[in-house]
Every structure is written in C-alpha cells, then in structure tokens.
Amino acid sequence: METINTYTQTSAQTRAESQHRVLRNTYGLLALSMVPTVLGALIGIQMKMAFFAGSPLISFLVFMGIAFAFMWGIERNKNSSLGVALLLGFTFFMGLMLSRILQVALGFANGGTLIAMAAGGTGAIFFSLAAIASTTKRDFSNIGKFLFAGVVLLLVAMVANIFFQIPALALAISAIAVVIFSAYILYDINRIVHGGETNYISATLAVYLDIYNVFVNLLQLLMAFSGDRR
C-alpha cells in the first residue's frame, strides 16, 4: 500500500511539474510573439497598408484564408522548432493586419491615448484572468463548447455586417467579442493548469489569439465612445 501511495504521489508531482513547465514556456513564447506583432504593426503603419480597403468581404476572406493556413501549419508542426518559427511568422502577419485599425485610431486627436488605454485594458484583463485560471481549483473546461458557439455566431454576425454596415451591430459585436475572448483567456490558461493542453506552442497560439481579439475589439469600442476626431 505504501508503494502504491508513493507511486501516486510521484505521478501527481511529475504531472504538476509538467503542467507548470508548459505554462512557463507558454508565457515565455507569448512574450516573444509580441515582438514580431509590434514590428509588423509598425511596418504596416509606415507603409500605410490598407489590405483591400475597398473590398471588405474579399479582405476578410483573404485574411481568414491566410490565418487558417498559418494555424494549420503551426498545429501540424507543434512538436518541432518549425512550429515556433511559423507561430512567430503568424504573429508578424497579425501585426500587419493590426496596422489598419491602428492607422484609424491614430487619425483621432487622442489616438495614441486610445491605443494605450486598449493595451492597458487588455493587459489588465489578461493578468487578472490568468491569475484566477492558474490559482483556482475549479475546472472551466465545461465552458469551451459555449465559447466556441459564441465565436461562430460572432463570425456570422461579422460577415452579415460587411453587407449591412450597421454601426450599432458593429459595436455589439465588439462588446460581445471582448467578453467571449476574455472568457477564452480564463478557459485556455485553465486548460494548461489542469493538463488539458500539454503543448506550449498550441497553448501560445490560443492565448495569443485571445489577447489579440480582446485588444482589437476594446480599441474599437474606445474609438466609438471616446474618440476625439480632429
């Protein structure tokens, strides 16, 4: 009996150490991924990239196609260094995509302040929810299906609003997106802690997308309600 207890304790300790290592590596790679994101955003702003600004639907479809191609490649190579390289390439691409909304924000008199507020708010949301997810004993895996359904509905609403261009719907989409992807931060970090995600590259990709979407939609809300037009 003592041998069984010792084995159980050792197994639990090994599992806990493995989960902690995945979480630590995820945070490290997540921090690194912000470098190409910022670099891509700065290049996009300097080059005034518009990305099919005259054709929102084509722009959306091209963006989704490239993004899903990157994500497929990352998942396929998540156990090798190529997965890290693809992830960093993806975050550079996402930085380029981010430059469009940043250009719009910088068109406001208080654009720099709005961007800083969105970044600060995103950081506050991330650190608060990550702390809860990594310290609570509760398992949030049961909310995954609801969050996925919410993302699908958001995508449908986004495509619909490309055609209808309803400002109130755009604001509603952004507000709901902030809530959903904030909940995803809680869910994704909690999955790592409870052993539901054992690959730090996949984990980084998931958390990065959560943070990215919270920032973009928070910035859109701030521009709508606090933007000071020149």
DSSP codes, 160-223: HHHHH--HHHHHHHHHHHHHHHHHHHHHHHHHHHTTS---HHHHHHHHHHHHHHHHHHHHHHHH
- CA 180 to chain centroid: 11
- The string of pLDDT tens digits covering residues 142-153 is 899 999 999 999
Take residue 14 and report the two structure tokens written for it.
């090994």
pLDDT at 101 over 90: yes
- The string of pLDDT tens digits covering residues 7-47 is 455 555 666 677 888 999 999 999 999 999 999 999 999 98
- The string of pLDDT tens digits covering residues 173-215 is 999 999 999 999 999 999 998 888 889 999 999 999 999 999 9
Q: For helices 111-135 and 200-226, what crossing angle results, to 10°?
A: 140
Q: How far apart are CA 160 and CA 120, in angstroms?
A: 31
Degrees to nearest 5, angle at CA 130 with 126 and 132:
125
Residues 6+ apart with CB under 8 A from 31: none
- CA 73 to chain centroid: 17
- Torsion sign over Cα 199, 20, 16, 141: negative
pTM, full prediction: 0.90
